[in-house]
Amino acid sequence: MSNLLEIKNLRTHFVKNKRIIRAVDGIDFQIGKGETIALVGESGCGKSMTSLSIMGLVPSPGGKIVEGEIILDGVNLLDLTEKEMYGVRGKDIAMIFQEPMTSLNPVLTIGDQLTSVIIHHLKLSKKEANLRAIEMLELVGFSDPTKMMKNYPHRLSGGMRQRVMIAMAMSCNPKLLIADEPTTALDVTIQAQVLELMKELSKRFSTSILLITHDLGVVSELAERVVVMYAGQIVEIATIEDLFDDPLHPYTIGLINSVPSIEGEIKRLQSIEGNVPAPGSIIQGCKFAARCSHAFDRCWIEEPDLLLMDDSRAVRCFLYDDEEANV
Amino acid sequence: MASYIVRRILYAIPLLFLITIISFGMMKMAPGDPTALMMDPMIKKENLVAYQEAYGLNDNVLVQYVRWLGNMVQGNFGESLIRQGVPISDLITARLPNTLLLMLVSSFIAFLISIPLGVISATKRNSLTDYSITFVSFLGIATPNFWIGLVLIMVFSVNLGWFPTGGVSTLGEPFSIWDRIHHLILPALVLATADMAGLTRYSRSSMLDVLRQDYIRTAKANGFKNSTVIFKHGFRNGLIPIITILGLMLPSFIGGSVIIESIFAWPGIGLLFVEAAFQRDYPVIMAVVVIAATLVVVGNLLADILYAVFDPRIEY
């Protein structure tokens, strides 16, 4: 599988009150063509900022990509001008957001919003764009798409709006769909529908998906590989099977243990002690050490590197360092 | 839509009714009665009583109010006490168009300048441009606009001689549009300054609020260029709260016109009101108060209707 997107040593920093916050602190990962990757972590771990960095929408002033490469189909997006990015956003990379209730423009009809994107990127006539929009709405499961075109967002439910967002995102055949917590704000039953829809569409159009979430249930539903982030860094990369069967990093183990299980015996729900380090705080050694039950002397002094275990597996923890094994 | 407008108009009626009660009540509470002004102070007591009787001033207050209201609804505001024999409705029809013209032009100027300034200020937030606009706005809020009027008259009319010092047209000359515009520029500009500063600040904060919204991020993520995002997706949303301000601005325009018309000798209802107040011309004062209040109510009504036009979330 060739890579669609390669992120190399990406660093996105924020300056707030003259302090530098390393929101994204040197991350590397790849997404294959047609592959679905999940980016997992607690709030504030830098996963949303990673997605905004890929889109070139890091909030400015304040935020800035200071280092790294984001290569989409052989082109480094960071080398493109803002004007060239207008042609990439919404066309090559589309995005759907966490808040379907507020992500659509309240004063424009669904039809207006869909067709304007289609006309902008595919250079179709108004009439053709209309047909395309209706086709997309039908595809995401609206039974009366023509009527839906004339509706305003406030008349739709959250699930319906998220489906409109998906229709909008998929309308220009993107190579990559970034879904930033697409189901967090939805009812559980609607969540399943939306996930099913994303799965189906990505297969149909062989679109790669970067799924950003903190919900491991959603991850197991959709993703093939998982990237776990903590405090702006990647702590573990694994296939979905490896991640749930044999999680390596103590943080990943903690995450999985904190999901209640329907099967098996009833036991007390576990949580990871402590909090995510405050953004901008300077920590010596491993960033997770303060919350880690396995932490030992070395963890407080040195910062572990991301260790490659095999082709599809990497972990940032001294427990798996050969040096330690030798001791 | 039509039923919504009708409903709004029906809501306005009790309000107007209340205004007439207050207007009438206040004048009734003022000391003296119209005969005190109309009659020769040396008039015989029994003649005075006869006059009061003839004018209906000895009737029950309620009867007087209903009589006044009934006449007014039919367009009869009574006669001026000072300019005896002149119907007030004539005074008003002569003066009201001038005031409406002044208000219309100055609100147009205010909107044309303030809204773009507010939008620029918001999009270039915390830049030198933003700070300059903010500084000038605060200066505008802090400066009384009659003072601006006087300074402009001194500089542009007295010293430079570019504009006339007052009036609606040059006396003795035939009607010409240019002459009218020439007379209109200074008073309209000064009246506009009253609300320009505030309006700029409102537009700025409204736009800032809109630019933070999720749908703006969506528009950006769809690859629209900045100007499209700001104008197509942002501006229409930012305009909604500004329409509310439009309704709120009308009273201040009417209040402002009282002062500005006096300074520029602009024969509108503001000036009529000032003259009437100084001369204790009660029926004129009452008529102007009722008309000004009606203008405000109508203005708010228009704002409400515009609101419904611009915001699809408002159900008729």
Residue of A nearest to B308 (CA): A107
In 3D space, the residue among B17, B184, B14 whose CA is nearest the CA of residue B105 turns out to be B184
Is A54 in contact with A93 (CB distance < 8 Å)? yes
- Indicate the Cα dihedral angle B93, B98, B100, B101, nearest 10°: 140
Residues 188-207 of A with CB under 8 A from B: none
Task: Please give the residue of chain A at the shortest CA–CA distance from B229.
Answer: A105
**What is the tens place of the pLDDT at every residue in B225-236?**
888 888 888 888
ipTM associated with this complex: 0.83
Q: Which residues pair with A71 in a beta bridge?
A: A6, A76
Q: A234 near A306, Cβ under 8 Å?
A: yes
| Of residues B231 and B55, more confidently modeled | B231
Architecture of domain A3-92+205-326: 3-Layer(aba) Sandwich (3.40)
Strand order in the sheet with A19-32: A19-32, A3-16, A63-72, A75-76
pLDDT over threshold 90, residue A118: yes
What residues of B are in contact with residue A121 (Cβ under 8 Å)? 223
CA–chain centroid gap for B115, Å, is 19
Residue A147: name the closest of A176, A119, A185, A109 by CA: A109
Q: Is B288 exposed, middle or buried (0-12, 13-18, 19+ CB in 10 A)?
A: buried
Task: Please give the residue of chain A at the shortest CA–CA distance from B226.
Answer: A86
Q: Which of A226, A255, A230, A254 is nearest to A242 (CA)?
A: A226
Residue B46 has pLDDT above 90, yes or no: no
Give A102→chain B minimum CA distance, Å: 6
Helix (H, G, I), strand (E, B) or coil at A3: strand
Residue B94 confidence (pLDDT) = 85
- Element containing residue B58 per DSSP (H, E): none
Q: Which residues of A touch B227 (CB under 8 A)?
A: none
Domain boundaries, chain A: 3-92+205-326
Confidence of residue A1 (pLDDT cuts 50, 70, 90): low
The answer to whether A53 touches A10, Cβ cutoff 8 Å, is: yes
Alpha-helical segments (H) within A223-296: 240-245, 250-257
Which amino acid, one-letter code, is at B42? M
- In this prediction, residues A109-131 reach a mean pLDDT of 91
Which residue from A109, A117, A152 is facing B222, i.e. has the nearest CB?
A: A117
Q: Considering CB atoms only, which of A83, A99, A117 is closest to B214?
A: A99
Average pLDDT of the segment spanning B162-182 = 79
Chain A 27-56, residues with CB within 8 Å of chain B CB atoms? 55
Residue of A nearest to B213 (CA): A102
Separation between Cα atoms, residue B202 and residue B51, nearest integer Å: 55
Decide if A212 contacts A48 (C-beta within 8 A): yes
A149 to chain B, any CB pair closer than 8 A? The answer is no
Suggest the residue from B212, B220, B222, B307 to mutate for an interface test with chain A (most A CBs closer than 10 A): B222
Give the total residue count for chain A: 327
CB of A106 closer than 8 Å to CB of B241: no
| Any A CB within 8 A of B180 CB | no
B311 touches A at CB < 8 Å: yes
Q: Is B313 on the interface with A (CB under 8 A)?
A: yes
Give the mean model confidence (pLDDT) for residues B130-145. Answer: 87
Contact B223, A121 (CB under 8 A): yes
Q: What's the pLDDT at B17?
A: 87
| Chain B residue whose CA is closest to A109 | B312
- Does A89 have pLDDT greater than 80? yes
Asked if B123 is an interface residue toward chain A (Cβ–Cβ < 8 A), one would say: no
Q: Is the pLDDT of residue B84 over 80?
A: no
- A99 and chain B: CB distance < 8 Å anywhere? yes
With cut-offs at 50, 70 and 90, classify the pLDDT of residue B43. confident
Q: Cα dihedral sign for B138, B142, B146, B147?
A: negative
Residues of B in contact with A90 (CB under 8 A): 221-224
* CB-based burial, A289-306: b 16+ in 10 Å, e otherwise: bebbeebeebbeeeebeb
Checking if the pLDDT of A119 tops 60, the result is: yes
Task: Kindly state the tokens that stand for B133.
Answer: 């606009």
Query: What's phi and psi for A118, nearest 5 deg?
Result: -65, -45
- How many CB atoms are located within 10 Å of the residue A124 CB? 16
The residues near A58 (Cβ < 8 Å, ≥ 6 apart) are A12, A49, A52, A64, A65
**B203 to chain A, minimum CA–CA distance in Å?**
18
User: B218 and A105: CB-CB below 8 Å?
Assistant: yes
Amino acid at B266: W
pLDDT 10s digits, A291-316: 888 888 888 888 888 888 888 888 89
Contact A237, A200 (CB under 8 A): no
For residue A323, the model assigns a pLDDT of: 63
Contact residues on chain A for B233, CB-CB shorter than 8 A = 105, 108
Å between A225 CA and nearest CA of chain B: 25
Q: If phi over 0 gives left and psi between -120 and 50 gives alpha, with beta otherwise, what is residue A300?
A: alpha
Write down the pLDDT at residue A324: 58
Would an 8 Å CB–CB cutoff place A106 in contact with chain B? yes
Over residues A220-265, the pLDDT tens digits come to 888 999 999 988 889 999 999 988 888 898 888 888 888 777 776 6
Chain A residues with beta carbon closer than 8 angstroms to that of B214: 97, 99, 102-103
Check if A123 contacts B (Cβ < 8 Å): no
What is the three-class DSSP state of B55?
Answer: helix
B125 CB within 8 Å of a chain A CB: no
Report DSSP state, residue A42. -
Average pLDDT over residues A44-61: 86
Chains A, B: CB contacts within 8 A come to 72
Q: Is B127 at the interface with chain A, CB within 8 A?
A: no
Mean residue pLDDT of chain B comes to 84
Contact at CB, B213 and A97, closer than 8 angstroms? no
Residue A82 pLDDT > 80, yes or no? yes
Q: What is the pLDDT of residue A210?
A: 93
| Superfamily (CATH) of domain B91-310 | MetI-like (1.10.3720.10)
Report helix, strand or coil for A275.
coil
Looking at CA atoms only, how far is residue A87 from chain B in angstroms? 6
| CA distance, residue B10 to nearest chain A CA (Å) | 28
A272 to chain B nearest CA, in Å? 31
- The Cα-based distances of B32 to A73, B27, B55, B88, B128 in angstroms read 90, 10, 14, 21, 60
Predicted pLDDT of residue A202 = 87
A325: pLDDT strictly greater than 70:
no
Residue found by looking up tokens 């769809």 in the block: B222
Instruction: State residue A14's pLDDT score.
Output: 87
Tokens of A29: 């990962």
Q: List residues bridging with A31 in a β-sheet.
A: A5
Confidence band, pLDDT 50/70/90 cuts, at residue A266:
low
**What's the token pair of residue A123?**
């250079």
Contact at CB, A104 and B213, closer than 8 angstroms: no
Q: Which of B215, B219, B313 lies closest to A102 in CB terms?
A: B215
Nearest to A57 among B213, B220, B233 (CB): B220
Residues 6 or more apart from A248 whose CB is under 8 A from it? A236, A238, A309, A313, A315, A317, A319, A320
What is the per-residue pLDDT across A156-203, written as a single tens digit (0 to 9) for each?
988 889 889 999 998 988 999 999 888 887 888 888 888 888 888 888
Q: Cβ of A85 and B223 within 8 Å?
A: yes
B224 CB neighbours in chain A (<8 A) are 86, 90, 116, 120
Residue in B126, B218, B310 nearest the CB of A104: B218
